[in-house]
């Protein structure tokens, strides 16, 4: 009779590879290098003939030159957003898009583009959209106090008639004056609101500029 093969003997031995300590070190090093190359923009701002300029050094320089103004602006923005939340004031994407389209059309009529105007101010479209949203929140917050009467427009035109374009359509001038007066009123109301919110807010500073 033919000999039966032992099932246990017919199976090939299982591979049980083990990484050596040096192989593990090399693997970790390779992963760290790959991660650094992928995320180098998070740490480096530039290389100058091989010498690194870190993003931290750029941030520190910016903080020295404009840190206080930037922090104050961010605090003001947060206070306004918190106040808008208390008053249940919201702005839809459609309202923002409509305002951006209006601004874009105005810039185009002046022979430029919105992207050029934003680039000149060092502002991205995302930043601009946030700015427009904040502006619309403030306008809605003070909508009842921004009304401009025809008498106010007449007084402004009379006072500034030598500085207004003579050849322009009077109706266009009146609309521009109306918008200017509304912005003046809005600026005054916003400043009053900011002063009030700052006085009542609890603001803890963790950096000094």
Instruction: Answer whether residue 171 is part of any domain.
Output: yes
Q: Tokens representing 176? A: 């521009």
User: Are 26 and 80 contained in the same domain?
Assistant: yes
Instruction: Answer whether residue 154 is part of any domain.
Output: yes
Q: Model confidence over 79-129: pLDDT tens digits?
A: 999 999 999 999 999 999 999 999 999 899 889 999 999 999 889 999 999
The overall average pLDDT reported for the chain is: 85
User: Are 159 and 182 contained in the same domain?
Assistant: yes
Domain range enclosing 123:
91-141
User: Are 36 and 83 contained in the same domain?
Assistant: yes
The span from the CA of 57 to the CA of 34, in Å, is 24
Q: Model confidence over 15-47: pLDDT tens digits?
A: 445 667 777 777 777 776 666 556 565 677 887
User: Are 109 and 158 contained in the same domain?
Assistant: no
User: Are 180 and 150 contained in the same domain?
Assistant: yes
The distance between the two most distant Cα atoms of the chain, rounded to a whole number of Å, is 124
Helix, strand or coil for residue 207? coil
How many helices (H) does the chain have, and how many strands (E)? 8, 2
User: Are 131 and 149 contained in the same domain?
Assistant: no
User: Are 136 and 161 contained in the same domain?
Assistant: no
Position 27 scores a pLDDT of 76
User: Are 84 and 35 contained in the same domain?
Assistant: yes
Percent of the residues in the chain that have a pLDDT greater than 70, as a whole number: 86
Instruction: Answer whether residue 15 is part of any domain.
Output: no
User: Are 47 and 69 contained in the same domain?
Assistant: yes
Task: State yes or no: pLDDT of 193 exceeds 90.
Answer: yes
Instruction: Answer whether residue 124 is part of any domain.
Output: yes
Number of compact structural domains in the chain: 3
Instruction: Answer whether residue 10 is part of any domain.
Output: no
Instruction: Answer whether residue 150 is part of any domain.
Output: yes
User: Are 162 and 181 contained in the same domain?
Assistant: yes
Sign of CA dihedral 187, 193, 199, 204: negative
Instruction: Answer whether residue 116 is part of any domain.
Output: yes
User: Are 149 and 195 contained in the same domain?
Assistant: yes
Instruction: Answer whether residue 82 is part of any domain.
Output: yes
Q: Tokens representing 25? A: 């070190």
Task: State yes or no: pLDDT of 170 exceeds 90.
Answer: no
């Amino acid at each position: 009779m033919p000999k039966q093969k032992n099932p246990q003997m017919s199976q090939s031995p299982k591979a049980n590879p083990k990484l050596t300590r040096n192989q593990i070190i090399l693997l970790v090093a390779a992963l760290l290098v790959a991660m650094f190359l992928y995320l180098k923009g998070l740490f480096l701002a530039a290389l100058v003939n091989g010498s690194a300029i870190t993003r931290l050094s750029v941030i520190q320089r910016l903080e020295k030159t404009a840190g206080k103004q930037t922090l104050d602006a961010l605090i003001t923005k947060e206070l306004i957003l918190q106040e808008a939340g208390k008053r249940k004031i919201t702005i839809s994407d459609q309202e923002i898009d409509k305002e951006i389209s209006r601004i874009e059309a105005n810039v185009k009529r002046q022979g430029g583009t919105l992207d050029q105007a934003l680039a000149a101010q060092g502002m991205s479209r995302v930043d601009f959209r946030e700015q427009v949203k904040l502006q619309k929140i403030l306008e809605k917050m003070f909508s009842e106090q921004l009304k401009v009467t025809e008498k106010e427009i007449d007084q402004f035109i009379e006072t500034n008639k030598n500085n207004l374009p003579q050849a322009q359509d009077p109706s266009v001038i009146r609309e521009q004056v109306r918008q200017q007066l509304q912005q003046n009123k809005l600026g005054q109301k916003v400043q009053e609101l900011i002063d009030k919110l700052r006085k009542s807010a609890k603001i803890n500073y963790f950096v000094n500029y």
